[in-house]
C-alpha cells in the first residue's frame, strides 16, 4: 500500500479498531490523529472517528473527511425519495416485475449506486481494486449491518477486493455488469464534488478503463451498463445498443441477450 497514507484514531475508544485495520491492510499506524503533523510525507490519513472510518486529504482540510455511509445523509434521502424502480439506473439494468438481476458493480467506489440497486432488490457484488477505497467500503458495510434500517439491504451486497480487469470472473455469473469508471473532468473543475477531488488525487484517472468493457461483455449474461458523463465518448469507443440520457450523465447499455419476459 502507498507510503503516503497512514491510519490514526480520533478518540481513544477507537484505538483497537484503528490498530486492527492497520494490521489487516498493512498500513502504517501513527496513533492519535494529532501525530499526523509529525509525518510530513503523509498526503492522506485514514482516521477512525467514533468507530467510523474516514479518509482525509491532509493538505486540503477544508474538504472534510470522506466515509462510506449507507445509513444516513444523501444515501438515506435517496433510499426514501429516490423514485424506486422508476429511476434511470433501474431502467438501465433492466429491472422489472419478475426480473431482479444479480449485478456486478465492477467499479464500486463509495458504493452509492450499488446500494441503490440493492435497495431495489438486486443482489450486488461490488468489486474495488483500490485498497483504501475497499477499506472504506468494508467499514461502511460493517456499520450498516448494525442498523435495523438498512441491514436487510446490505445483506444483498458483498465486496470483493480485486481488479475488475484481471479478476472480473471472481463474481459468480452476474446477470448485469455495471461500470462507472472515473473520467477526466472538464476545465473549471472547482465545483467538482469533494469526493471526486480527493479520489482523483488518491487514485488518479482510470486510464485503463477502456479495458473493462471486453471482459464485462464476455461475462455478463444479459447486459453491460456504463455510466458516462454526457460529454464523454463511449467506453472503448464502442457504440452501445441504446443509451438513457440524463442531465449530466448517461447510461450506455450494451445488450448481450434480451431479458426474459415475465410469464
The CATH number given to whatever domain includes residue 218 is 3.40.50.150
Long-range contacts of 76-83 (CB under 8 A, 24+ apart): 76/149, 78/112, 78/116, 79/115, 79/116, 79/119, 79/150, 79/153, 82/116, 82/119
227 part of a folded domain: yes
Domain for residue 80, yes or no? Answer: yes
- How many Å apart are CA 102 and CA 219, to the nearest integer? 12
Which pLDDT score, from 0 to 100, does residue 1 have?
53
Residue 211 placed within a domain? yes
65 has which bridge partners? 56
Determine how β-strand 223-229 pairs with β-strand 242-245: unpaired
On whether residue 262 sits in a domain, the answer given is no
Same domain as 95, residue 16: no
Q: Same domain for 173 and 214? A: yes
Number of domains within the chain: 2
Listed as own residue / partner, the contacts of 75-79 with beta carbons closer than 8 Å and 24 or more positions apart are 75/112, 75/115, 76/149, 78/112, 78/116, 79/115, 79/116, 79/119, 79/150, 79/153
Binding-site positions for S-adenosyl-L-methionine: 112-113, 128-129, 163-164, 180
**Cα 63 to Cα 54: distance, rounded to the nearest angstrom:** 12
Q: Along the 263 residues of the chain, how does pLDDT read in single tens digits?
A: 567 999 999 999 999 999 999 999 999 999 999 999 999 999 999 999 999 999 999 988 888 899 999 998 777 767 776 667 889 999 999 998 788 999 999 999 999 999 999 999 999 999 999 999 999 999 999 999 999 999 999 999 999 999 999 999 999 899 999 999 988 766 555 545 677 778 777 776 667 899 999 999 999 999 999 999 999 999 999 999 999 999 999 999 999 999 988 64
Claim to verify: residue 55 and residue 78 sit in the same structural domain: no
Asked whether the whole model's pTM tops 0.95, one would answer no
Which residues are known binding-site members? 112-113, 128-129, 163-164, 180
| Same domain for 113 and 194 | yes
In terms of domains, do 44 and 78 share one? no
Q: Where are the alpha helices (DSSP H) in 145-253?
A: 151-154, 164-167, 194-203, 213-219
Question: What's 43's domain CATH number?
Answer: 3.40.1630.10
Do 11 and 96 fall within a single domain? no
Residue 23 in grid coordinates: 494490521
pLDDT score, position 182: 85
pLDDT at 186: 61
Looking at the fold, whether 175 and 57 belong to one and the same domain comes out as no
pLDDT value of residue 221: 97
Report the DSSP pairing between strands 5-9 and 44-49: parallel
**Is the domain of 95 the same as that of 213?**
yes
pLDDT for position 201: 79
Residue 103's domain comprises 73-255
**Does 260 reside within a domain?**
no
Predicted pLDDT at 211: 94
What does the angle CA 209 – CA 180 – CA 146 come to, to the nearest 5 degrees? 130
Amino acid at each position: 500500500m502507498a507510503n503516503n497514507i497512514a491510519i490514526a484514531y480520533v478518540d481513544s475508544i477507537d484505538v483497537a479498531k484503528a490498530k486492527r485495520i492497520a494490521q489487516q491492510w498493512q498500513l502504517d499506524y501513527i496513533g492519535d490523529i494529532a501525530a499526523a503533523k509529525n509525518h510530513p510525507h503523509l498526503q492522506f490519513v485514514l482516521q477512525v472517528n467514533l468507530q467510523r472510518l474516514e479518509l482525509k486529504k491532509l493538505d486540503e482540510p477544508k474538504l472534510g473527511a470522506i466515509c462510506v455511509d449507507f445509513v444516513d445523509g444523501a444515501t438515506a434521502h435517496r433510499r426514501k425519495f429516490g423514485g424506486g424502480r422508476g429511476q434511470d439506473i433501474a431502467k438501465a439494468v433492466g429491472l422489472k416485475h419478475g426480473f431482479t438481476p444479480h449485478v456486478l458493480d465492477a467499479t464500486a467506489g463509495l458504493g452509492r449506486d450499488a446500494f441503490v440497486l440493492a435497495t431495489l432488490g438486486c443482489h450486488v457484488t461490488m468489486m474495488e481494486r483500490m485498497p483504501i477505497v475497499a477499506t472504506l467500503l468494508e467499514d461502511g458495510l460493517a456499520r450498516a449491518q448494525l442498523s435495523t434500517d438498512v441491514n436487510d439491504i446490505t445483506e444483498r451486497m458483498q465486496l470483493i477486493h480485486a481488479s475488475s480487469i484481471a479478476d472480473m470472473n471472481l463474481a459468480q455469473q452476474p446477470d448485469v455488469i455495471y461500470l462507472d469508471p472515473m473520467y477526466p473532468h472538464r476545465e473549471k473543475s472547482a465545483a467538482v464534488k469533494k469526493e471526486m477531488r480527493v479520489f482523483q488525487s488518491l487514485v488518479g484517472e482510470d486510464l485503463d478503463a477502456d479495458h473493462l468493457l471486453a471482459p464485462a461483455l464476455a461475462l455478463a449474461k444479459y447486459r453491460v451498463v456504463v455510466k458516462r458523463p454526457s460529454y464523454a465518448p463511449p467506453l472503448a469507443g464502442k457504440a452501445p445498443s441504446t443509451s438513457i440520457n440524463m442531465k449530466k450523465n448517461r447510461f450506455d447499455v450494451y445488450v448481450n441477450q434480451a431479458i426474459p419476459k415475465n410469464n
